[in-house]
Structure 1
């Protein structure tokens, strides 16, 4: 591969959140135990430990009605970035007949750092995935719409993502108290 070429895009990341079995299966097939699942009328909350070099705990909310996964990564020393929330854009659903929730990440991410507007990242990945046939035009357009609605909503609430989410019917609570 020439230096100017980028690697081929990866397929959308898919995860399964098995509430009954108290496990989370990531897009690579790794199964991790979950300490807490909480199902609400607006989504699914998960808290678990993480075996990642940059973070030791993960808290996430799947919000099907908003097309978002909102996460707090509890970073290890030396990896703190000032980031409060990390928002994945995609399709989230559940529970199915087996009590499982499903996530399909549509590449676009939003990073919430207090005192700043949300930062939209990975737009290039969305376009590359669509061009490679990994994401339909409909899903790509929906992803852009979700990201746009989130950017505007947070801006209208003084760049306070939590306040916008609460006004949109998703008042998030976190075990860590954030």
Structure 2
């Protein structure tokens, strides 16, 4: 009998499709969900949609390709992650393609913003395990680490991650003002 914790097998990078013309979002498991709002800008794509998840009822996302980040606000149900503001996925984000769709590939690393606390880097172990399993290249793992380091440093210098993101894109990223 081993004293080592058991881990779930490492999963491939999560891929999503943001189909602006069809007003749908296809998640990494292939579920197609309707989107309430898409807004394309010169620096990225905003999405707002309802969620049929037990922990959150609405999701807002900004795909920010030049930063290698996907900034999310999960509108959680009461009592779950009440202090979390932004959740940033590190990866490759691009679009639109010839059919008006945007694409996301999540490279495992995540940054969690809780007001009053420094930006937290999580899931480093997942990135290492994925690299060891050949699911991400050394170049992708290196780029993911550099993106996360840039965001951590930028948020620390700016005082918070929202201010840093706004400065990077050149204007204030807008979000819904929706009660939990």
Shorter-chain TM-score category? over 0.9
Q: Using the alignment, how far apart are the partners of 2:57 and 2:178 within structure 1?
A: 16
Cα 1:177–1:100 shift into 2, 3 Å: same
Instruction: Identify the residue that residue 164 of structure 1 maps to in structure 2.
Output: 164
What TM-score comes out, normalization by structure 2 length?
A: 0.94
Offset of residue 10 of structure 1: 0.2
Residue ranges of structure 1 left out of the alignment (5+ in a row): none
Offset of residue 177 of structure 1: 6.8
Instruction: Identify the residue that residue 33 of structure 2 maps to in structure 1.
Output: 32
Instruction: Identify the residue that residue 121 of structure 2 maps to in structure 1.
Output: 120
Cα 1:2–1:17 shift into 2, 3 Å: farther
- Give the secondary-structure state (helix, strand or coil) at the position aligned to 1:120: strand
Q: Using the alignment, how far apart are the partners of 1:148 and 1:156 within structure 2?
A: 12
Alignment of 1:55-94 (within 5 A): 55-94=56-95
Cα 1:120–1:128 shift into 2, 3 Å: same
Q: Using the alignment, how far apart are the partners of 1:60 and 1:68 within structure 2?
A: 10
Q: Using the alignment, how far apart are the partners of 1:37 and 1:169 within structure 2?
A: 18
Q: Using the alignment, how far apart are the partners of 1:3 and 1:133 within structure 2?
A: 26
Residue ranges of structure 2 left out of the alignment (5+ in a row): none
Pairwise CA RMSD: 1.6
Q: Using the alignment, how far apart are the partners of 1:129 and 1:58 within structure 2?
A: 26
Instruction: Identify the residue that residue 49 of structure 1 maps to in structure 2.
Output: 50
- Give the secondary-structure state (helix, strand or coil) at the position aligned to 1:11: coil
- Give the secondary-structure state (helix, strand or coil) at the position aligned to 1:87: strand
Q: Using the alignment, how far apart are the partners of 2:115 and 2:80 within structure 1?
A: 17
Alignment of 1:14-29 (within 5 A): 14-29=15-30
What TM-score comes out, normalization by structure 1 length?
A: 0.95
Offset of residue 94 of structure 1: 0.2
- What is the count of residue pairs matched by the alignment? 177
Cα 1:3–1:52 shift into 2, 3 Å: farther
Offset of residue 7 of structure 1: 2.4
What per-residue deviation string (whole Å, max 9, x for no partner) do you get for residues 109-131 of structure 1? 00001111100000000000000
What per-residue deviation string (whole Å, max 9, x for no partner) do you get for residues 142-162 of structure 1? 00000000000000011x111
